Each structure stands twice: as C-alpha cells, then as structure tokens.
A and B are shown apart, each in its own frame.
Chain A
Amino acid sequence: MTHQFPSLSPDQKKELSDIALKIVATGKGILAADESTGTMAKRLEKINVENTEENRRFFRDLLFSCDSSMANCVGGVIFFHETLYQKSDSGKLFPQVIKDKGIVVGIKVDKGTAGFNGTDGETTTQGLDGLSERCAQYKKDGCDFAKWRCVLKISDSCPSALAIAENANVLARYASICQQNGLVPIVEPEILPDGEHDLQRCQYVTEKVLAAVYKALSDHHVYLEGTLLKPNMVTPGHSCPKKFTPQEVAMATVSALRRTVPAAVPGICFLSGGQSEEEASVHLNAINQVPLHRPWKLTFSYGRALQASTLATWQGKPGNKAAAQEVFCTRAKINGLASKGEYKPSSSAGQASTQSLFTESYIY
C-alpha cells in the first residue's frame, strides 16, 4: 500500500514537463483545431460550405500555413485524427508544418460521450480501449500531447456524484496512459454553461469537479508537472437573468482554481465554450489581472473563439484565404496578449467596462 512503484523515469518526467512548459510558454496558448467531422459539418454549414474532406483540409491549411509569427502566440495545436495525416498545399504533412514553426502538435484521443443509465442525461467519455497503442502511434507520427474531453452539466440534480466520480476517473486513466507513451495529457472536465444558474453555483460546481479530478489524478499516480488542465471559466448559465462583469468572472474563476489545482500543474488553458471571440479574450485578460497569486500559467485553448471570424471571412472562397489568415493572426495575437493580462480592447467603451466595475471586497 505504501510502496511506490515508479511509473515514469526521471527522463520521461523531464520530457513531459518540458513539453507542457513549451506549450504554455509566456504569451502562448493552444489552437483547438480538433473538431470532429460531425462538428466541422456544423461550422461549415454556417458559411454554406460543403463538409468535404478537401474543404476541411483547405481550412486547416489556411490556419496552419499562416505566417511563422503565429508561433509567438500559439504554443500548441490540437489535431483531429483525419487532419494529422493530411497535407498542406505545399505537400508537407500538417504535423510537420506545425512543428517547423516550433509549435507542439497535439491530438484529440477520446471517442465521444456515452450516456449513463439512471441519470438525468449525464455522460462519461469513451476511448480507453487500445488507447496505449494509439498513443504510441501518435507519438511516432509527431504528436507530443493529447486531449480528452469530459462533459458535465448543471441542473437541480446535476452533476450527480456518479457523473463527477466517473468522469474524474476516466480522465485519470487517460492521463496515465498518455504519460506512459510520452504524451502530455490535457485534462478537460467541461461543465457546460447551459442553464439559469448564477456565477456562484458554477463556481461551487467547478470546485467540486476539479477537487474530484485532482484526487483521481493522485490515485492514478499521474505526474502533474507533465499535464495541462483545460477547464471552463466560471460563468453564469446562458439563461441566467443576472449579468456579471469580466472581473467577477475572473475572480470566481481564479478562486475556484486556487482552491483545487495544485501548483505543480504548469498551465491552465481555458476552453471558450459558447463565448464569443471578444468575450473569451476579455475574460482571459481579466483572469490574468486578478490580484491573487496564480502559480500556473493561465492561457487559452480556443476553437470557435479563435476561428469564428476566420471562417466567416473565408466563406469557402480560396480568394479570401489571405484575408482570413490575417483575421486569424489578429485573434491569436489578441489572445496572446490576454494570456499576459496585456490586452487593451480598442474601443473606449470596452476599456471602461473592463476597468470600472471591479468589486474588491467580494469574497468568493
């Protein structure tokens, strides 16, 4: 019971730790470009583009072949399996294109959610079968990190103790297997923003979920210094009638993380969920200005919040490629600044709203 059977050698630990630190180097975050085929369909449908393999390839190529200065604000890119084996217009495999820019390549490895019997629509996530072999292959094919998404929701009865415990456990199993194969696991316990709950409720649930996640990681002997966390920010539910300022969101978020995420974790990369591009940047910026000690990097791992305008600019027309790339780079730069708390929204009204409403005395 008390004997420790080493799961990783010092060299393996160093490799994992170095990868994690590289991904969340100061001013950098993650581009989540791992939309599954089905999810990509939804994105492309919005701009009336057909969901073909070529269109998916073209769009990812648009993102990945941006100017190499994108590496100043993007430390890692998460791929979907299909994309990992596609090539850019120049004939180079996408992982190589990304690596050549000094950006770390990651891969989504989960196989989607599966329902729990006896719960109110809650789920766990599958994908553990043969995961070790898949990870070994992904490592050979250029990946250095992985991502696995679990989903929880807030309602009168949710999240249940079962949902919390089971999702925490499956995240820990996934993380353990990744590390054995030299991949840094990004641990994503997303609590959906759907519902009418307020900020405090989301904070409370986030604290419970993260406490369970880190207990499970401890139980599974996961090397925390070689992991990253991808949580939701703490926000009110979409249908909550009360509005909260970016500073309130930031305080609630940082308080929750300080109470649950050990200092050994090198970086926390927020998901954007349903937030707009600007909202996600403003929130990230406020988080990096919270006057509380934050021992981990606090950055982004955005999908929609990095790509929405880019997609809208592209419209499926090759002629719009350069303009779309420019839009993407601008968004990436903004989030790079936000990850340092240095983003100043250009409109003066925007500036006022980020500076005037900080409630210093609120104890979260």
Chain B
Amino acid sequence: MPSKLSEALKKELHETALRIVSPGKGILAADESVGSMGKRLAQVGVENSEENRRQFRQILFGADDRINSCIGGVIFFHETLYQYSDSGQSFAKMIRDRRIMIGVKVDKGVVPLPGTCGETTTQGLDGLSERCAQYKKDGAVFAKWRCVLKISDTNPSQLAISENANVLARYSSICQQHGIVPIIEPEILPDGDHDLKCCQSVTEQVLAAVYKAMSEHHVYLEGTLLKPNMVTAGHSCLTKYSPEEVAMATLTAIRRTVPPAVTGVAFLSGGQGEEEASIHLNAINNCPLPKPWTLTFSFGRALQASALRAWRGHKENEKAASEQFIRRAEINSLACQGKYTGDYAESGLQTYGSIYAY
C-alpha cells in the first residue's frame, strides 16, 4: 500500500482549502481565457487587448478592503498571474498581500470525444506536474480544471461521464503532489429543456462517478474543493422552479454523492444572473438538511457582470465599476451564510417542501 502524500503535505492542503472557504468567503473566478474575455469585453464594446484585460482585472484586484472578508481565493488565468498594476505591483502580490489565496486555471480547454453526440473531455495533463511546480513557486496554492457535460436524449453518455471523472482525478492527484489544492469542476451545462428532476439525476450520476474516480486515484479529499453546477432546470424548460426547489434538488444531490471529507463546495454560476445566483446560494444555505461541507460561491460572471457594464472601458468609471463588484461580493458573502434577504424575502415563498419529492 503506497503512501503518497506526507502528513505535512496533507495538513498544508487541508488548511489551504479551509482558508479559501472560510466562513463568509467564496471565490472570484477571474480566470477567463483570452477568448472568453473577448466575449465579455465585446458585450460592453471594449476591445480585447492585453491592456484592457489588465485594466479590468486591476479594478477587481484593487477593490478596497471590504472584499477581504468576502473573497477567500481568486482564480487567475495564466496571463494575468504575470501582469502588474499601474503602480508596478504584481497582481499576484496584490492578492497575496490581502491574505486572499491565489489559484490558477490549469486546464487547456475542451476537446471532442469521437463517437459521441458532441461531447467533450478536457486536455492539459501533459507536463502538468512541471507547470504546477512553477505555479507554486509563483504564488499559487490552488488550481482549477473545468470539465463539461451536457444533458440531452443521448447525453451525458457513460463514456463522457467516466472519461471526464477520470481526467479530473488525474489532474487532482498531480496538483496535490505539489501542495496545490485542486478545485474539481464537472460542469453540467444548463442548455436544454430538461426539468429539475432530470438535472438532479444527472448531477448525482456525474458526482458519484467523480468521487469514485477520486478514490481510485488516491486523491486526498480533505485537500480538495468541488465546483459543481447548482441543480436547475434547463434554460428552455417551460416549468419554473422556486429558489427553494433549486436548493432542495441541489443539496439532496450533493448529500447523496459528495463525501463529508470534502472541505467545501463552491458553486459555479453558469448562465445565471448575478441576483439569481445569490438568491439560489442563499436558499441552498437555508435549506433544512444537514450540510457537512461549506457551501459557497465560485462566481465569474455573477460577480463581474455589473462591474463590466459600469466600466465600459472608461478610466473615469473605475470607481463605479469597483463599487458594483464590491456590492456583489458582499451580497454573496451574506448568501453563503444564508443571511441574504434581498427583495425576495418579502414575498414569503420560503417553504422548502417535502424532502421525499427529490
């Protein structure tokens, strides 16, 4: 029986994971690739130049102290990890000085699985060990790798589920060797007209496969974080579900598949609007079922959309943009503690319904 990780390394990984998801904190996913950033900037009429990308990240990373109690970690894209602020400070140092953990996206995007109906796996394992070692030297203490699955009549297939679970486990195993906490992201897209039940069923199957693979690859669960989709109906589903229904379906799925040893679950926002994502996160944290892990956020768009719109590429809008970001960070900090009331609380629609319906 091989002993892979030393006690000291396990302790380091576990403590890092705990710090990222400390009470009231979540993750700012600022790791949009050049291509993804292009889409975001296009929406606000800004050219996708390296300088513009740097300017926008500077707004986020330079936000005032209010975000220190809301953000436990920032996920960087490779380019951003080596950029500097206007005053010559490295972004990495800026974040580290605020006692926020530095993470880095390490996957190299999706590639097709031949013989399937448009399904993919994710590449990036080649030389990953060496890259992790370098990122660790450069200040990163956690990493992120995104796999993508989708729901349709034929999908996700057994192959897509097992292949993506396996690659996530390989990636996790390699990261941990270097003292880097792997964030495991098996995103099931919300595209489609499937209902809430269907998404829940698929999410349970996918997560069960993910954790079986983690076991097979001897991944130290206490030193990992999970970044799953919330369980929601497909975008084109005609039935509308309340936040409580989304919360119940999500929490039930997680309780059936994610071992208690996993330190934290930080939901992705997917296509959800900023307010929708916060309300859902809040409902999840208020759901009357026991939760042995922290349940928080790892939001990209749901933290940045308003800030981007306020900025529109103009330096004079930086303060306003910063305020938008801070506001969203504070709201999500409340939501991940189940304390966000917003406008929604007034309507009194807070019954969670029967747990046996899930």
On A, residues with C-beta under 8 Å from B are 1-4, 10-11, 13-14, 17, 200-201, 204, 207-208, 211-212, 214-215, 218-219, 224-225, 255, 258-264, 293-295, 361-363
Determine the residue in chain B with the shortest Cβ distance to A11. Answer: B356
Indicate whether A2 sits within 8 Å of B201 (C-beta atoms), given known contacts A201-B1, A207-B215, A211-B212.
yes
Give me 16 other A-B pairs in contact (C-beta within 8 A), A2-B154, A262-B255, A295-B292 excluded.
A1-B155, A2-B155, A2-B202, A4-B198, A4-B201, A10-B356, A14-B354, A208-B215, A211-B216, A212-B215, A260-B259, A264-B255, A294-B260, A295-B290, A363-B11, A363-B14
In the docked arrangement, what's the CA distance between A212 and B128, Å? 28
Closest chain-B Cβ to A154's Cβ sits at a distance in Å of 10
> Which A residues lie within 8 Å of B292 (CB)?
258, 263, 293, 295
B252 within 8 A of A: yes
In the docked arrangement, what's the CA distance between A207 and B215, Å? 8
B264 within 8 A of A: no
B7 within 8 A of A: yes
In the docked arrangement, what's the CA distance between A260 and B156, Å? 24
Determine the residue in chain B with the shortest Cβ distance to A201. Answer: B1
Chain A contact surface mostly: helix
Q: Which of B3, B154, B354 contacts A1 (CB 8 A)?
A: B154
> Which B residues lie within 8 Å of A294 (CB)?
260
B240 within 8 A of A: no
Contact residue range for chain B?
35 or more
Inter-chain contact A255/B10, CB cutoff 8 Å? no
In the docked arrangement, what's the CA distance between A215 and B354, Å? 26
Closest chain-B Cβ to A343's Cβ sits at a distance in Å of 24
Closest chain-A Cβ to B133's Cβ sits at a distance in Å of 23
> Which A residues lie within 8 Å of B10 (CB)?
363
Q: For chain B, residues 43 to 77, give those with C-beta under 8 angstroms from any C-beta of chain A.
A: none
Indicate whether A263 sits within 8 Å of B198 (C-beta atoms), given known contacts A10-B356, A11-B356, A211-B212.
no
In the docked arrangement, what's the CA distance between A241 and B11, Å? 28
> Which B residues lie within 8 Å of A363 (CB)?
7, 10-11, 14
Inter-chain contact B1/A214, CB cutoff 8 Å? no
Inter-chain contact A264/B1, CB cutoff 8 Å? no
Inter-chain contact A14/B197, CB cutoff 8 Å? no
Q: For chain B, residues 262 to 318, give those with C-beta under 8 angstroms from any C-beta of chain A.
A: 290-292
Determine the residue in chain B with the shortest Cβ distance to A13. Answer: B356
Indicate whether A2 sits within 8 Å of B290 (C-beta atoms), given known contacts A207-B215, A262-B258.
no
Query: Which 3 pairs show the lowest CB-CB distances between chains A and B?
Result: A211-B215, A4-B201, A218-B208
In the docked arrangement, what's the CA distance between A14 and B354, Å? 9
In the docked arrangement, what's the CA distance between A13 and B354, Å? 11
Cβ proximity bits B197-240 to A, threshold 8 Å, 1 near / 0 not: 11011101100110110011000010000000000000000000
In the docked arrangement, what's the CA distance between A104 and B95, Å? 57
Determine the residue in chain B with the shortest Cβ distance to A217. Answer: B208
Inter-chain contact A204/B1, CB cutoff 8 Å? yes
Indicate whether A10 sits within 8 Å of B354 (C-beta atoms), given known contacts A1-B157, A200-B1, A263-B290.
yes
Determine the residue in chain B with the shortest Cβ distance to A259. Answer: B261
> Which B residues lie within 8 Å of A214 (CB)?
208, 211-212
